[in-house]
Amino acid sequence: MLQELAAENYALAAASETSTARTSALVDHATQLHAELAQARASLDALHDTARQLRSAVAEAETSRDLSAAEWVQERGALRAELEQLRDALQSVGTQQASAQASSDVAYQDLSAELQAAQTRIRGLRAELRTAQQSTGTTMSPSYPPLPASTSTPAADSSSSHSAIVPASSSAGLIVQISNLRHELARAQESERRAREASRMSSDRREQAEQRLLDVERENQRLQAAASMKTIRGDAYKASFDRNVEQRTQDNVEASEVVATLESQVEEQNQRLQDLQLVVDRQTADHGILSFRADESEGRVAELTAQLTVATTQRDEQESRRLQIEADLEAARASLAELQRDCSALREELDRSRGQTRQAVRDRDVLQGTLDIVRGPAYTPLVTTPTTPVSSAETSGGASTSHTGPVTSKRAPAEGAQEGGQLFVCVVEATFGDAIATRLSIRWGRRRQRLLLFRRFGARLGGWSVFTQ
């Protein structure tokens, strides 16, 4: 009896594992059904987009064609009828989609309820089996305690059967319990069969929905073919209309030009559609690239976070060094301020030197003009007069040497005045040039010393740039 009970326990455990596996399979199948419903919804959205494109194409065809009144009205009525048919087809697809969704939800709920009921029954069966094992263990001899169901084997049962005496009443109860357990197992298997049947029915419904979707796609293709046939017929009519226009008078030439313009507009629209398709493809590729870059950026962010942590630790370590650097920086700022003051003073001195140089140049120009006047022919009679004294202060613009005697030569006074003026100009240029050069050399030497000092201080700073980063 114990061997049969252990075998029943093993069978129930195997049935429980099988039911659990089938439950997970049913859950996966329900998830797949939901995914297929999502795909059907996407297909329905694509059909809606196709309908919108057909509407836009019909609108463009209506605006771009110049047909006669009766034929235009007839073609517009046909296109509207096709649009109505397409709308009805889309509505029927939506209704079928809603019914498929509702039936799938109901089937999923039924499957979930049946699975929960089966799991509850299996738990009850396990509890009853455990209770039966415990009750069986209490009727055994106290010198031989009962073995658990997980460790009991036929060999162990045979070795302990000579010392285990079970009364007839407990055996009858065990038989009744085992029969009840068998009935419960049969009911659980029946529930599992029902769940499998519901899964098969849901898959049949899914196939029916797919078949309906294929029918709708065929209907959409048929409508597109009909629209293309209408377009071809319109193009043929336009060609015949052009041939008739060639046979008409000159007044209908403008109408043919309008038709050509409309054709070019249609080609431009087609080109724009192709360009838009290229843009969509490019954006799709860019989206993939951006997704890849986003992944790389996430990795880079992680690396930068680690680097930031390292930099934070380095900043904490360099806090003491920063205080010393700030003190050195204050000294450098003071030196820099002094250097700026020296530079401003040097600029002022340079401006003054330039002003003095310009004044010296003006004086030189004045002296040069005076020398030119002295060398000119206007003063020749005064120079050749033997009784008139000539002063070198008047001819040379304030020279210290004067000539008071009679002049007997025409060339000697002019040469003397020219040499005196040149000598004065050279003295002035030499004086101002030496002064400017001296001051500039002094200022430049100080500035060079300060620059060397500032460079040495920058070399002492060392890690300041790292700290500021």
Which CATH number covers residue 100? 1.20.1260.80
- Residue 259: inside a domain: no
Joined tokens for residue 131:
């209770």
User: Does residue 207 sit in the same domain as residue 108?
Assistant: yes
User: Does residue 43 sit in the same domain as residue 184?
Assistant: yes
Could you tell me the residue range of the domain that residue 388 belongs to? 320-468
pLDDT value for 83: 67
User: Does residue 374 sit in the same domain as residue 225?
Assistant: no
- Residue 29: inside a domain: yes
Residue 250: phi and psi, rounded to 5, are -65, -20
Joined tokens for residue 361:
């140049």
pLDDT value for 170: 54
Could you give the CA distance from residue 180 to residue 129 in angstroms, rounded to a whole number? Answer: 10
- Residue 265: inside a domain: no
pLDDT value for 396: 37
- Residue 102: inside a domain: yes
User: Does residue 75 sit in the same domain as residue 216?
Assistant: yes
Could you give the CA distance from residue 39 to residue 101 in angstroms, rounded to a whole number? Answer: 12
Q: Residue 454 contacts by C-beta under 8 Å, 6 or more apart in sequence? A: 332, 335, 336, 339
Could you give the CA distance from residue 173 to residue 180 in angstroms, rounded to a whole number? Answer: 10
In 3D space, the residue among 331, 304, 378, 349 whose CA is nearest the CA of residue 444 turns out to be: 349
User: Does residue 238 sit in the same domain as residue 328?
Assistant: no
pLDDT value for 232: 82
pLDDT value for 243: 72
Could you give the CA distance from residue 37 to residue 40 in angstroms, rounded to a whole number? Answer: 5
User: Does residue 326 sit in the same domain as residue 208?
Assistant: no
pLDDT value for 370: 85
pLDDT value for 312: 83
User: Does residue 336 sit in the same domain as residue 226?
Assistant: no
Q: Show pLDDT as tens, one digit a residue, over the chain (469 residues).
A: 555 656 666 666 666 676 667 666 666 766 676 676 667 667 667 666 766 776 676 666 666 555 555 666 677 677 677 767 766 766 776 676 677 667 666 766 776 676 677 677 777 777 777 777 677 654 333 333 333 333 333 333 333 333 333 344 455 666 776 677 777 777 777 777 776 777 677 677 767 767 776 776 787 677 777 777 877 877 777 777 677 656 766 665 565 576 567 777 777 777 776 777 777 777 777 776 777 776 777 777 788 888 888 888 887 887 878 788 788 788 878 878 887 888 788 888 888 888 888 898 888 898 888 888 887 655 444 434 444 443 333 333 333 333 444 433 444 444 444 444 444 445 444 555 555 556 556 656 666 666 666 566 555 555 444 333 3
Joined tokens for residue 312:
């934070």
Length of the chain: 469
User: Does residue 131 sit in the same domain as residue 10?
Assistant: yes
User: Does residue 240 sit in the same domain as residue 351?
Assistant: no
pLDDT value for 64: 59
pLDDT value for 468: 39
User: Does residue 102 sit in the same domain as residue 243?
Assistant: yes
Number of folded domains in the chain? 2
Could you give the CA distance from residue 271 to residue 268 in angstroms, rounded to a whole number? Answer: 5
Last residue of a domain, one of 221, 247, 273: 247
Q: Cα dist. 448→247, 337, 451, 453 in Å?
A: 97, 15, 5, 9
User: Does residue 197 sit in the same domain as residue 112?
Assistant: yes
The residue with tokens 């500035």 is 447
Last residue of a domain, one of 209, 226, 247: 247
Last residue of a domain, one of 218, 247, 276: 247
Model pTM?
0.23
- Residue 306: inside a domain: no
- Residue 270: inside a domain: no
- Residue 457: inside a domain: yes
